[in-house]
Chains A and B, each alone.
Chain A
Amino acid sequence: MAAVVLPGGRRCGTFLARGRPAARRARLALRVLGPGGAMRYNEKELQALSRQPAELAAELGMRGPKKGSVLKRRLVKLVVNFLFYFRTDEAEPVGALLLEHCRVTQEEPSGFSISFIEDPERKYHFECRSEEQCQEWMGALRRASYEFMRRSLIFYRNEIQKMTGKDPLEQFGISEEARFQLGGLKA
């Protein structure tokens, strides 16, 4: 019946008059995109990931990016390239951040912040109990991104190849699929 134009000029398609008006509005509401967009994802997938073994996990103070955010104690868990944070007594995370294309900055006295390169003013603040813990987390977070890992692997692979004339992935018997991920075939 109506063509819906969403923020950013994206058309949402037409919706036929089907079902009760309230139900239609509810379905429409699910589809309306906010300024950042609302991508669908499977919550169980994310939950399953949050239960995987963590690279690092600790109780830290955490403050969200909004003005006037209060520092809260959270169990923060780094799993692959995701950062999950839990209320200290709950099994399910409150939230998750994808650690790609982000910047980790030290914040005095013993804390750090994470911001995303596309939106550097929005910072997620974390407070550690010591400078040592802070450095440990900052290092781990910087190494967490898929892109950083891939860059590192490609760097070492190329350097070793330059020095030995051989592709180290061959020597280690690393699979063809893994080599694809390292973009060895791309210009």
Chain B
Amino acid sequence: MKLHQKSVLSFFHGYRTQAPDREGILLKKGARSISYQRRWFVLRGNLLFYLEHQADRTPLGLILLENCQVEPRLGATEPYAFTILTPGVEGTEGGRTYKLAAENQGELAAWLWALAGVSWRRLVALLPPLEAQYRELCQAAGQEPSSPPEDCGFLATLSPPSSFQELHEHFGKEIRVLQVVRRGLQSSDNRGSRSQAKGEQELNSC
């Protein structure tokens, strides 16, 4: 099957004025090697891109996150490890397990958090009730309902509502997630050292 790369690259590049959902360094275990490689990961929507370097124009690869499962991996030799399990073709082989690791607890929690809600399907289900409520409110107020903007530039001018309350909830939740992760890590014995990904790059190390 041919995935039209230009369409994907357009998505990757296209939103230059808009920050991705999350980006940062993660260690990625190669498919055929036991060592972890340091990669720059960029999350946009339901796609997770990884690059050799942050400044690279083209990603090394991408992971389709729709219907994936993300879990911390407490028994791993690498600390702050987690897996992304992607579904395979139903009924035959399973999907791929991506073994990743964050650089510290904060990063691990933040990535788990960000990856948990990426599903397109999950988000699209929110649209009908929200739209219905909006139209009802407009009707009650005698106001003409308007449509969401077509233009991407709209987001740049939007100011966050109730920002303090949301920050309060956000950090509170993040602390709770970190506490769970820390308890999990304390209960396991693993303090593996981080592998150094020096030397030549293997072609199939990703």
* Chain A residues with a Cβ under 8 A of chain B: 8, 10, 13-16, 27-28, 30-31, 33, 36-52, 80-81, 92-102, 116-119, 122, 146-164, 167-169, 172, 174-187
Contacts and interface: CB of A to CB of B under 8 A. Distances in A.
Interface string B82-108: 000011111001011000000000000
B6 A116 contact: yes
B141 interface: yes
Interface residues of B, number: 81
B86 A48 contact: yes
Contact of A167 (B95, B154, B162, B206): B162
B7 interface: yes
A102 B120 contact: no
B15 to A, nearest CB: 7
B187 interface: no
Nearest to A35: B6
B195 interface: no
5 contacts: A30-B203, A39-B62, A48-B95, A181-B21, A184-B161
Contact of A117 (B10, B56, B96, B127): B10
Contacts of B2: 94-96
Interface of B: 1-11, 13-15, 19, 21, 44-47, 49, 56-64, 66-67, 86-90, 93, 95-96, 113-114, 116-118, 120-124, 126-127, 129-131, 133-134, 137, 141, 146, 148-149, 152, 154-155, 158-163, 166-167, 169-170, 173, 200-201, 203-204, 206
B15 A49 contact: no
A172 B129 contact: yes
B63 A45 contact: yes
Contact of B63 (A42, A52, A186): A42
Contacts of A175: 117
B183 to A, nearest CB: 20
Contacts of A14: 200
Given A10-B58, A52-B66, A118-B6, 6 more contacts: A41-B62, A92-B1, A99-B7, A122-B6, A167-B162, A186-B19
